[in-house]
Amino acid sequence: MGLKIVQAPDPGLREVCEPCTPGDKELLKLARQMAKMMYENNGCGIAAPQVGRNIRLVVIDVDWDGEDKSTRNPIFLVNPEIKELKGDPVTDMEACLSCPGISVPISRQPWARVGYFDLDGEEWEIEGDELLGRCLQHELDHLNGRTLFEACEPNVRIKAIQAYERARELGAQPGQSMIEVEA
């Protein structure tokens, strides 16, 4: 049985994920499946709870152009932790494979540094601004039980939930963003 993208309001998306063991063959298989799902749904990141696994695993690729498979370069982050955030928060629209059909204004610091292990257990750090910095923070939110609804401002949350319900009624699928929620 293949993986499927878990959608809000599934309670598994609200759980804090457990650390996992780098070098595990099952972890490698899961990471590859997650990357495939991310690309199939035009995402730039996916976290393990989004496929029903309560572990600290993230796949990110903010450089893929959405079409040319040769531009794919996924980064697999095992047990990632934010080490540092910098800059005045910037509000920008974010979408999520687990909340299909909407994009929501989220305020985040523009630069992030994250420590993690690769699939073989080697320790690394990644830092980035703009889309990479935002994506790192978004995916690590998932590992800590936070969805778009918890990440947005309280005054936007009700609008976001209502828009999400409308999008679901319209049949929104992961990777689609039909309704843009305003602040």
| Active site members | 139
| Measured distance CA(104)–CA(32) in Å, rounded | 28
Nearest to 166 by CA among 102, 103, 105: 102
Nearest to 80 by CA among 45, 105, 110, 106: 45
Helix residue ranges, H only, the chain: 25-40, 130-143, 148-151, 154-169
Strands 177-180 and 101-108: what pairing?
parallel
Say whether the peptide bond before residue 154 is cis (omega within 30 degrees of 0).
no
Helix (H) or strand (E) holding 167: helix 154-169
Assign 141 to helix, strand or coil: helix
Helix (H) or strand (E) holding 47: strand 45-47
Helix (H) or strand (E) holding 150: helix 148-151
